Homo-oligomer: A and B are copies of this chain.
């Protein structure tokens, strides 16, 4: 237990302690400026050298304000401006605007760290994977739960058989989007930009992807039900959703999501012998509740918040870019999530069981 405490935050994924990856950041919303940029400032292996936005003026202003060397427009980015100043790009734009920038980054030979979900549709995600594979540039999807220390320790425990044979998984991710961003016309409510909908793509993906990572099992069949009620959600099918997924080995996974509900995250894995309950689970607040037999324990990590989660994620990305090592959440990993999201929407539309390969 002593050792376990002292090695809790160990970077068991780390393979180098040398070098720096210089980043261009695309999409300068609050997430990139207020979360990603400070997180990058705290990394060991990353440096933000270039900001890219719709106007050169905005990009230059934000670069000045944040002590970043270059500020350029998307058009200038496509033309290869400042390309000598960065080794990789981070994509924080709305979902449907990922592909075009990744294609340019691949043409420029730059590594890519792309926010999740990786694009708006399976087809566009496939095109992204193709572009990066053709150009032989690394592509990582920004699943920051993969490098959250608590998630990694949970994964170790699962690998060691702490819960016995996995039986069921429950995931919820809900938030009051209109209180967070009081705009009925925001891109997350426009399916042309967000993808198939809003709650499953933006929130449900956390439960599904983290369960995939923790258990190393993918969904093989899904059922789902979605509905929208509030007028701001008129264009998307899933103001709320409930889903039933069979993971490999017939582990029963159930999930709920909503962009119009009280904020709550939980991911609970129950097995024949024990349970690991991440509660809260996502958004930098991961607390682990363990039980096995008559014993239970709660592990709280006061050090982690969303910026620290991102710091770990960026340093993992840099580690792989610098060494050429395998990336776990690579483009094909992210593409499988896109197929799952599409299957969930098809299942909600038809009422049928939709199978996945």
Instruction: List A residues at the B interface (Cβ < 8 Å).
Output: 163-165, 167-168, 170, 172, 174, 176, 221, 223-225, 227, 229, 240-246, 250, 252-256, 258, 260-262, 264, 266, 268, 270-275, 291-292, 351-353
Contact between chains at B246 and A225 (CB < 8 Å): yes
- Number of this chain's copies in the assembly equals 2
Known contacts A225-B244, A229-B250, A250-B227, A260 near B167 by CB under 8 Å = yes
Cβ 8 A contact of A254, one of B244, B262, B272, B352: B244
* A262 cross-chain contacts in B, Cβ below 8 A: 163-164, 167, 270-275, 291-292
A270 and B264 form a contact (CB under 8 A): yes
Which B residues are CB-close (under 8 A) to A268? Answer: 172, 266
Residues of B near A258 (CB, < 8 A) are 167-168, 270
CB distance from A282 to the nearest CB of B (A): 15
Candidates B163, B250, B254, B271; contact of A170 at CB < 8 Å:
B254
Distance of A118 Cα from B245 Cα, bound (Å): 30
Q: Is the CB of B256 within 8 A of A261?
A: no
Main secondary structure of the interface of A (DSSP, over half): strand
* Residue on B nearest A243 in the bound complex, by CB: B244
Residues of B within 8 A of A292 (CB): 262
Query: What's the Cα separation between A258 and B251 when bound, in Å?
Result: 11
Which residues of B have CB within 8 Å of A164? 262
30 contacts between A and B (CB under 8 A): A164-B262, A165-B229, A167-B174, A167-B240, A167-B261, A168-B240, A170-B170, A170-B256, A172-B268, A174-B270, A176-B272, A223-B225, A223-B351, A225-B244, A225-B252, A240-B252, A242-B244, A242-B246, A242-B252, A243-B254, A244-B254, A254-B254, A254-B255, A256-B270, A260-B272, A262-B271, A262-B273, A262-B275, A262-B291, A266-B268
**CB within 8 Å for A224 and B240 given contacts A261-B168, A262-B271, A262-B273:** no
When the two chains form their complex, are residues B250 and A240 in contact, meaning their CB atoms are under 8 A apart?
A: yes
- Whole-angstrom distance from the CB of A186 to the nearest CB of chain B? 18
Complex formed: what's the CA distance from A165 to B243 in Å?
20
Contacts of A261 in B (CB 8 A): 167-168, 270-272
Given contacts A168-B256, A243-B254, A262-B271, could you give 11 more A-B pairs where the C-beta distance is less than 8 Å? A164-B262, A165-B229, A167-B262, A168-B261, A227-B252, A240-B252, A244-B244, A252-B256, A254-B256, A262-B270, A264-B270
Give the docked Cα–Cα distance between A310 and B306 (Å). Answer: 46
Contact B242 A254 (CB under 8 A): yes
Residue numbers in B under 8 Å from A224 (CB-CB): 244
